[in-house]
A and B are shown apart, each in its own frame.
Chain A
Amino acid sequence: MTRMDEILDRVAAIQPLPDTVMKLMNVINDPKSTIEDIIEVIRYDQAVTTQMLRICNSAYFAVSREIDSLNDAIRMLGTMKILQLVMAVHSNSLLANRQSGYGLEPGILWKHSVGVAITATWFAEKIHYANANLAFTAGLLHDVGKTILNEYVGKDFAEIVRRVNEDNLSFCEAEHAVLGFSHEEIGAKVAEKWQVPEHITRCIRHHHDPRPLTPPDPLVDAVYLANCVCLLLGIGLGADGLSYRADHEIMERYGLRESDLEIAGTQMMLELKRVMQMYAAPGQPQEPMLVTG
C-alpha cells in the first residue's frame, strides 16, 4: 500500500463534504438551474439559513428593516452571493485547520481559499467563461489537499521546506520528492472520493500547472491565475511562500497583461476585506473565524 493510499484510507473516516455543498455543486454545475433550485437545496440547511439571515441583518448591508425569511435574503443577496455564502459556511469548517503541522496557521488556508475563489470568479468573467459560479467553488476547494496533508503528514513538512530551500525545487516538486505525491494529487483523489463534480476536481488536480491539459480548460486556467495573484499578494501564505512555478503561457492564451493581474488583485482585496469583516467574530478582528450555526 502506498503512502497516498494509506492516507486516503484514513481520510475516508473524516467528515466528507456536507450534503448541502454536494447538492449545491451539482446545481451550480447545471446551467439550467434556477434560483428556485438553489432555494430548494439550502432551505433545509439550518447553518446556512442562520448565517444568511445574520449577514443580511449585519451592518454590512445596513438595511432598514429586519430580514427574516430566506426568500427575502435571497432576493437581497442575489444568486451569486448565496452560492458564495453557502460554500463559505461549509468550507470554513473543512479548511479551518486546527493544527499547524503543515506550516499553516489556523484560518490562513480559509482566507487564501476565499481569496482564490473571489479572484477565480473575476478571471472566469474576464475570459468569458460561461459558468463563473463554478469558478468560485473551484477556487474555494483548490487547496483541499493541504488540509489533508496538514492532518496526516505534518511531520514531513520541515523536510519539504528544506528541499525547497536547498535544492531549488518548487513546493510541489519537493512534495513529490519527499511524499511521492503533491497536495494537488491527494486533493483531487479525495475530491473524487467525495464525488465532487469533475470540473472542480480537475481544478484541484492542476491548479499549479494547467499546461498538460489539452485542450486547455478555462476553468482550471482561471483558478491557476487566481492562485498566482493571491500568492503574489500574500493572501494566506504558509511557510511554502511563493515557491511555485509561474507560467506566462496561460496569460498569453487569453491576451491578459500584468495590469489585469493587478486589477484582479485590487478587486479581490476589497471584496476579501468585506468578507472577512462579515465573518469576524466580535472581539476577534484579526483572526476571522466563521460562526457556523
Chain B
Amino acid sequence: MTKQQFLNELNRLLVQVPEGERKDILSDYEAHIDSAIENGKTEEEAVADLGSPKTIADELDVFVATDKLSGSKKETTTNVGPNIFAFLGMLLFNLIFIIGPVVGVTGAFIGLYAAAFACLITPVAFIINLFTHDTPILLAFFLILATFSFGYLFLLVTNFLAKWFLKLIHWYWKLNVKIVKGSY
C-alpha cells in the first residue's frame, strides 16, 4: 500500500470523527511515514509497519465510543432501561400513520426506476427498427439520443430522490430508537 492509499483508507474509516480531529490524526500518520522514509525505509515498508488502517480505526473508535458512553451515562442516570409504553405507543403510531405512506412511496420509486429503465432500453428498439424498417438514419439517431438522455436524467433524479427518502427513513428510525430509549 502506498502512503496515499493508506491515508485515504484511514480517512474513509474515520468519517464519523469530526473533520478537525480527523485531519490531525491523518497528519500524525503522514509525518510518521515521512520520517520512516527519511530513516531509510521504503514507502511500502513504512506503511506496512503501521499495521492496517482498520486496526488503527478500531483502536481510535474505542476511545470515541467510551467517551460517548461516559457522556451519555451522566445525562440519563435517572432513566432505567427502554420505555415500554413509548415503544408500544410508537409501534401503534407507526402502524397506523407511517407504514402506509412508506409502502406507497417505496412503490412509487419502484415505478420510477422501471420507467427510467424503460427509457434507457428504448434505443435498442430504435436500433432494431433501423434494420427492419427504412427509418431515416438521422431521425433514428436523434430519437436514440433523446430517449437515452431522458432515461439517464430520469435515473439521476430518481436516484437523488431515493437517497433523500432513505435518509429520511434513517432519521425517522433513529428518532424512534431515541424516543423508546427515553433520551427524549
| B and A form one assembly | no
| B-binding residues in A (CB < 8 A) | none
| A-binding residues in B (CB < 8 A) | none
